[in-house]
Amino acid sequence: MRRSQSVVIAGFGASEITRRSERGITAFSLDAALAALADAKVDRSQIDGYVGAPFSTNADARHAEGGDEISLKTAANALGLKSLAYGVDLYRRYATDMVVSAAHALVAGTCRYVLGLRALYNLPGPPPAVPSAAVAYGGEQFTRPFGYMAAGARFATRARCYMERHGVTRGDLFEVVALSRRHAALNPSAVWRDRPLTREAYLEAPMIASPHSLFDCDMPVCGAAAFVMCLERDLPAGATGAHVVGWGGFATPSNVFEMSGLGRQDVVHCQLYDGFSSMVYEWLETFGFCEEGGAWKFIRDGHGDRDGRLPINTFGGSLGEGRLHGIGHLREAYLQVTGKAGERQLQRAGPALVQVGPFDDSSFVMLRPEAA
Amino acid sequence: MSTDLTWTDVSGRATLRGWTQIFIPAVPGREAPITVAECALAEDPRSILVVLDESGATNGAAIGAPVAIGFRRDDNGWSYPEIVKASAASR
C-alpha cells in the first residue's frame, strides 16, 4: 500500500481532564473541538468531514448518548457543522483508526477538512470497573458470567503469564508506573501530575485483578481531545502539520512500517497504549524494540525515559494522564512531532509511532514532521 | 476452511494458560475475590475457555498446569464451564 497524497494532522485540541465534573460530555467535546479548530486555523464552516469513536470503556458503562458517549449527530449539531460531506462513528475502534478513516475521506476527495473527536466521561454511580447488571447481552454473554471483562481481567491473566515466564516481579512492573508518573509531572493536564509514587506505596496498593493493583490501572476521567486533518496542500497558513506517513490495522501491524518506508530503528519515540501497565511491554517486544521477554528490563533500565533510547509515553500515558483511551497518545505524538510539546518537548521530534488498543486488537499510526 | 461442521465431545482436559484473582465485585451475585482462569483445551489448544474457578485450585498454580473442566447448571437452567480439579503443583 502506498500513499497517493500527503495527509497531515493540521491541529489538535483538548479539554481539561478531570475525575468528575458537573459539566456534561458535550461541553468537554466542544472545548476540545474548538481548540482543535483554533490550532489548525480552520473555521468550523470549513469542516466537511467528521470521524468519531464514541465508546465508553468502563465495565459498567451506560453507553448513554450525551451521558458517557457522544455521537456524530450530537457533536455535529452542537458544533453547528452544516456542510458535512461525510460523517461516521467507528464501532469500538480507536483514535488511530479515526486517523485512517479521516485519511481515506481526504484522499478520496470526499472531504477537505475532517474533524476527529474522542470524548470519555466518568458518570456518577457505582465504580466504573464493576458491572452491576445481572443480565448480559451480545458477546458479553460469554465473558460477563466469568468476570472476564471486569477490572481488565483478560489483561491480568496475560500479565501473570508474562511475569511467570520471564521472572518478572510486581516490583519490576512498578517501573512502568513510575515512568508514567515521571512523565506526567511535565503534563499540566495529567490527573497524576503532582503525585509521585514510591515503590513502597505501589507495592502496598490494593490489588484489583492480580497482578494488577490500583496503580496499574488507568484512572477513569472526564475529558476529550479532537484533531483536524487535511491534505498537505490544504494546510492553512500558520498551522503546523504532522504528516501521517503510515498506518496499520489489527491484522497487519507491520504495515505501519512498510507504508511509511521506515524501520523500527527510525522511530525516535513511541506512544504506547497503557490502559493497564503491563500492556506497555506488548509492542516493545512484538516490534523488536527489545528482545522477547526483555521489555520489563528495557523500562527498568531507563530506555523509555525522555533521555533514553526510545522515550515512551512522554505525556505520562493513560496511567499518568487519565483514561482517554488512546486519543491522549495520538495528541502527544502530534505535539512532539510539531514541536508544540512545551516543557516536555523532546529534541528529536519524529518519526513517532502511536499504538492504541489491546495486544490482539491494536491499530497504529506513524507521524513525522516532514513528508516521507 | 470448511463449512462442514459437526458437534463433537471433548474430554474437558486442558492446560492453564493464565489466571487472575479479582478483588473487586466483578460478577453480580458473587463476593470478591473470585478467580478467573483461561484454559487451553487438550484437543485444540487454540480453543481457550474462560472459566470461574470456585474450587480455588488454579489460584497460585503454574502456567501450563493440567486442569479439568466440567459444567455447572445454575437455577435458571444455564450451564457454565468451571474448573473441577487442577494440579496442586506450585501452590
- By Cβ distance, the residue of A59, A146, A165 closest to B52 is A146
For residues A113 and A42, the answer to whether their CB atoms sit within 8 Å is yes
Cis peptide before A351 (omega within 30 of 0): yes
The answer, yes or no, to whether residue A5 has pLDDT greater than 70, is yes
pLDDT at site A241: 97
From residue A324, how far is each of A233, A256, B49, B52, B68 by CA, in Å? 31, 22, 31, 30, 40
pLDDT at site A249: 96
Neighbour count for residue A42 (Cβ, 10 Å): 22
Could you read off the pLDDT of A30-70 as tens digits, one per residue? 999 999 999 999 999 999 999 999 999 887 788 899 999 99
User: Mean pLDDT throughout B78-84?
Assistant: 87
Q: Which uninterrupted H or E stretch holds B88?
A: none
Could you give the dihedral angle defined by the CA atoms of residues B19, B71, B90 and A203, in that order, rounded to the nearest 10 degrees? 30
Measure A210 CA to nearest chain B CA, in Å: 5
CB pairs under 8 A between A and B: 86
The better pLDDT of the pair B58, B43 is held by B43
pLDDT at site A257: 98
**Residues from chain B contacting residue A156 (CB–CB below 8 Å):** 20, 22
Q: Which residues contact A260 (CB under 8 A, 6 or more apart)?
A: A245, A246, A351, A366, A368, A372
Asked if A127 and B36 come within 8 Å (Cβ–Cβ), the reply is no
Whether A205 has its CB under 8 Å from any CB of chain B: the answer is no
Average pLDDT of chain B is 87
**Residues from chain B contacting residue A206 (CB–CB below 8 Å):** 23
Could you read off the pLDDT of A140-175 as tens digits, one per residue? 788 888 888 888 999 999 999 999 999 999 999 999
User: Mean pLDDT throughout B9-34?
Assistant: 92
Could you read off the pLDDT of A203-223 as tens digits, one per residue? 999 999 999 999 999 999 999
Rounded distance, CA B90 to CA B87, Å? 8
Rounded distance, CA A288 to CA A4, Å? 29
**Local structure of residue A236 (DSSP, 8 states):** P
Cis peptide before A253 (omega within 30 of 0): no
**Residues from chain B contacting residue A165 (CB–CB below 8 Å):** 63
Whether A131 has its CB under 8 Å from any CB of chain B: the answer is yes
The answer, yes or no, to whether residue A1 has pLDDT greater than 50, is no
Classify residue B36 as left (phi > 0), alpha (psi -120 to 50) or beta: beta
Measuring CA to CA, which residue among A17, A48, A52 is closest to residue A31?
Answer: A17
Asked if A148 and B50 come within 8 Å (Cβ–Cβ), the reply is yes
From residue A307, how far is each of A178, A303, A313, A316, A344 by CA, in Å? 15, 8, 13, 15, 11
Could you read off the pLDDT of A284-309 as tens digits, one per residue? 999 999 999 999 999 999 999 999 99
Whether A161 has its CB under 8 Å from any CB of chain B: the answer is yes
**Residues from chain B contacting residue A158 (CB–CB below 8 Å):** 18
Asked if B63 and A208 come within 8 Å (Cβ–Cβ), the reply is no
**A104-108, B5-9, B74-78 — which is least confidently predicted?**
B74-78
How is the beta sheet containing A269-272 ordered, strand by strand? A86-89, A49-52, A114-120, A223-231, A7-14, A242-248, A363-368, A352-356, A269-272
Q: Which residues pair with A353 in a beta bridge?
A: A270, A366
The answer, yes or no, to whether residue A15 has pLDDT greater than 70, is yes
pLDDT at site A315: 98
Could you read off the pLDDT of A190-201 as tens digits, one per residue? 999 999 999 999
For residues A269 and A35, the answer to whether their CB atoms sit within 8 Å is no
pLDDT at site A132: 74
User: Mean pLDDT throughout A352-363?
Assistant: 97
Asked if A130 and B23 come within 8 Å (Cβ–Cβ), the reply is no
Measure A89 CA to nearest chain B CA, in Å: 29
Could you read off the pLDDT of A89-144 as tens digits, one per residue? 999 999 999 999 999 999 999 999 999 999 999 998 877 777 777 778 887 788 88
Measure A146 CA to nearest chain B CA, in Å: 5
pLDDT at site B89: 41
Query: What does the DSSP assignment read for B20-76?
Result: EEE-S--STT-PSPEEEEEEEESS-TT-EEEEE-TT-TTTTPPTT-EEEEEEEE-TT
Measure A127 CA to nearest chain B CA, in Å: 9
The nearest alpha carbon in chain B to A208 belongs to: B23
Asked if B22 and A133 come within 8 Å (Cβ–Cβ), the reply is no
**Residues from chain A contacting residue B29 (CB–CB below 8 Å):** 134
Asked if A153 and B22 come within 8 Å (Cβ–Cβ), the reply is yes
pLDDT at site A183: 98
The interface pTM score, or ipTM, of the predicted complex is 0.88
Name the residue type at position A19.
R
Q: Which residues contact A122 (CB under 8 A, 6 or more apart)?
A: A19, A20, A58, A68, A128, A220, A221, A222
SS3 label, residue A157: helix
Whether A207 has its CB under 8 Å from any CB of chain B: the answer is yes
Whether A238 has its CB under 8 Å from any CB of chain B: the answer is no
The phi, psi pair for A306, rounded to 5°, reads -60, -30
Measure B73 CA to nearest chain A CA, in Å: 13
Confidence grade of residue B88 (pLDDT, cut at 50, 70, 90): very low
DSSP-H helix ranges across chain A: 25-40, 72-79, 95-107, 153-166, 170-184, 199-204, 255-260, 279-286, 295-300, 317-321, 327-337
Asked if B20 and A210 come within 8 Å (Cβ–Cβ), the reply is yes
Whether B76 has its CB under 8 Å from any CB of chain A: the answer is no
Could you read off the pLDDT of A227-286 as tens digits, one per residue? 999 999 999 999 999 999 999 999 999 999 999 999 999 999 999 999 999 999 999 999
Whether B41 has its CB under 8 Å from any CB of chain A: the answer is no
pLDDT at site B90: 36
Rounded distance, CA A259 to CA B38, Å? 36
User: Mean pLDDT throughout A16-35?
Assistant: 97
Task: Name the E strands within chain A.
Answer: 7-14, 49-52, 86-89, 114-120, 207-209, 212-213, 223-231, 242-248, 269-272, 352-356, 363-368
Whether A126 has its CB under 8 Å from any CB of chain B: the answer is no
